[in-house]
A and B are shown apart, each in its own frame.
Chain A
Amino acid sequence: MDQFTVWDIVRNLLLATRWTIVLSVIAFVGGGIVGFAIMLLRVSDLRALRALSIAYIDVLQGTPLLMQLFLCFFGISLLGFEISPLVAASIALTAYSSAYLAEIWRGCVDAIPKGQREAAESLGFRFIDMLRYVILPQAIRIAVAPTVGFSVQVVKGTALASIIGFVELTKAGTIITNATFKPFLVYGFVAIIYFALCYPLSVWSRDFERRLRAAH
């Protein structure tokens, strides 16, 4: 291999982009499921459950994603399991996303006027039914825009998986830079590809927000 054409660089970056997308989807879906559960604890009536969920959110929002990746990668292998960078990154990014999504969604639930909850309670709704039939249908509408907005953070977060050796877009960029000595060109393309992934999500989220505001 003596010469990398610009096309070679772009093609290899695009191939690696598939893994960025795969990891983003895993983290977003996993984070959504775990985050929803944490959000339920966060808005529940039991003080102990609320305290537990607050601690979970505070720890994950108060430590760097990079540390969470390292702790998953090294910590799980201490337990005696062989763990691949993809699995470690999936777990860490799921945990990271779940904390932020739980907090975002909690805000949406809180935005529903208190009277709604009290009305449901006075009608004898159980906690779960009150959420299901009264609060969530209204909260989901407000939640769409910030949730799509957060997906941008997830895509960008996958870039750190490169540090524990997972070959996605950023890692591919580093490998190609080491082979070509053209950091400006390669990282320029890397940035453009991330931008192409994230910008539509940003615009989409802003659109939802505007439409919601217009509807009121």
Chain B
Amino acid sequence: MRYHFDFLAVLEYWPLLVRGALLTLVLTFIAIVFGTLLGVAGAYIRSARVPVLSAVVAGYVELIRNTPFIVQLFFVFFGLPSLGLKISAVEAALLAMTLNLGAYAVEIVRAGIESIGRGQLEAGEALGMTRFQIFLHVVLLPALRNVYPSLISQFVILMLGSSVASQISAEELTFAGNFIQSRDFRSFEVYFIISAVYLVFAFAIRRAFGVIGRFAFARR
């Protein structure tokens, strides 16, 4: 049997692919913003050893890191409505992605905080700063700078993981692929092209955040 590849048949659906790709980027971007904030907040709570809250954050981190993203997504999308919370596929994907990135970001940022020398903290104390002021003005920026590469890798993993959101019918890039595949059965061509788009996105995210980092962490 000889199979004739036809990549052009897939590209006829380009508006669908573009819309899906845009949603993938938007989902990723929003989850990056909120997930990173969540990670910084969690890392502060963990490293400041806030009673009770610290244990809650530790539990959240372990729970997320030791279960698959797809189960977290299903839990949010199918589980929450049974508690009476109506939630759309895109909202569920955003929530699951943010919670997922947040857990990894807590550990990454915490490693950054631990890399800051004691002398820095003592200097802050000597200036009469409160613990939170020290964190905000002395620790946070160099801590983030030290772990920034790991954070970017986690952003890429998040973006790639968003393809699973197709399974709850969030109409992102992979969903567009599944739709085209069910129309004209060019499954290999469809997934080949979409994989290439993800590859470009992964590269672009590394580049873009690399540039952002150079500005954000420029030594002043």
Q: Which residues of A contact B (CB under 8 A)?
A: 58-59, 61-68, 70-71, 74-75, 78, 80, 152, 156-157, 159-160, 162-163, 170, 173-174, 177, 182-184, 187-188, 190-191, 194-195, 198-199, 202
- Specify which chain B residues have a CB less than 8 angstroms from the CB of A68 in the assembled complex: 195
- Please classify the interface of chain A as helix (H, G, I), strand (E, B), loop, or mixed, using the class held by over half of its residues: helix
Q: Known: A160-B164, A183-B82. Is A62-B66 also a contact (CB below 8 A)?
A: no
- Specify which chain B residues have a CB less than 8 angstroms from the CB of A182 in the assembled complex: 82
Q: Known: A63-B195, A152-B66, A199-B62. Is A177-B163 also a contact (CB below 8 A)?
A: no
Chain B nearest CB, measured from A6 CB (Å)? 15
Q: Which one of A70, A157, A199 lies within 8 Å of B66 (CB-CB)?
A: A199
Give B69's nearest chain A residue, CB to CB: A156
A187→B71 contact, CB < 8 A? yes
- Specify which chain A residues have a CB less than 8 angstroms from the CB of B207 in the assembled complex: none
Q: Known: A65-B160, A183-B82. Is A159-B70 also a contact (CB below 8 A)?
A: yes
A184→B202 contact, CB < 8 A? no
How far is it, in angstroms, between the C-alpha of A62 and the C-alpha of B164 when the chains are bound? 15
Additional pairs, 20, CB under 8 Å, beyond known A71-B188, A74-B191: A63-B198, A64-B174, A66-B174, A67-B195, A70-B177, A74-B187, A74-B188, A78-B3, A152-B65, A156-B69, A163-B70, A170-B71, A183-B79, A184-B79, A190-B71, A191-B72, A195-B62, A195-B63, A199-B66, A202-B66
- Specify which chain A residues have a CB less than 8 angstroms from the CB of B70 in the assembled complex: 159-160, 162-163, 170
A66→B66 contact, CB < 8 A? no
Chain A nearest CB, measured from B168 CB (Å)? 11
A59→B199 contact, CB < 8 A? yes
Q: Which residues of B contact A (CB under 8 A)?
A: 1, 3, 62-63, 65-72, 74-75, 78-79, 81-83, 156, 160-161, 163-164, 166-167, 174, 177, 187-188, 191-192, 194-195, 198-199, 202-203
Give B167's nearest chain A residue, CB to CB: A163
How far is it, in angstroms, between the C-alpha of A44 and the C-alpha of B68 when the chains are bound? 35
Give B202's nearest chain A residue, CB to CB: A62
- Specify which chain B residues have a CB less than 8 angstroms from the CB of A80 in the assembled complex: 1
- Specify which chain A residues have a CB less than 8 angstroms from the CB of B65 in the assembled complex: 152, 198, 202
How far is it, in angstroms, between the C-alpha of A58 and the C-alpha of B74 when the chains are bound? 29
- Specify which chain A residues have a CB less than 8 angstroms from the CB of B74 in the assembled complex: 170, 173-174, 183, 187
Q: Which one of B68, B69, B79, B198 lies within 8 Å of A62 (CB-CB)?
A: B198
Chain B nearest CB, measured from A92 CB (Å)? 11
> Nearest 6 pairs between A and B by C-beta?
A183-B78, A159-B68, A62-B202, A198-B66, A74-B187, A64-B163
B67→A71 contact, CB < 8 A? no
Chain A nearest CB, measured from B37 CB (Å)? 24
How far is it, in angstroms, between the C-alpha of A61 and the C-alpha of B75 when the chains are bound? 26
B160→A194 contact, CB < 8 A? no
Instruction: Name, among B67, B78, B167, the residue most crowded by chain A CB atoms within 10 Å (CB to CB).
Output: B67
A67→B83 contact, CB < 8 A? no
B71→A173 contact, CB < 8 A? yes
Chain B nearest CB, measured from A174 CB (Å)? 7
- Specify which chain A residues have a CB less than 8 angstroms from the CB of B166 in the assembled complex: 66
17 cross-chain CB contacts under 8 A: A62-B156, A62-B199, A63-B199, A67-B163, A70-B191, A78-B3, A152-B65, A156-B68, A182-B82, A184-B75, A184-B82, A190-B71, A191-B63, A191-B67, A191-B75, A194-B66, A198-B66
Chain A nearest CB, measured from B77 CB (Å)? 8
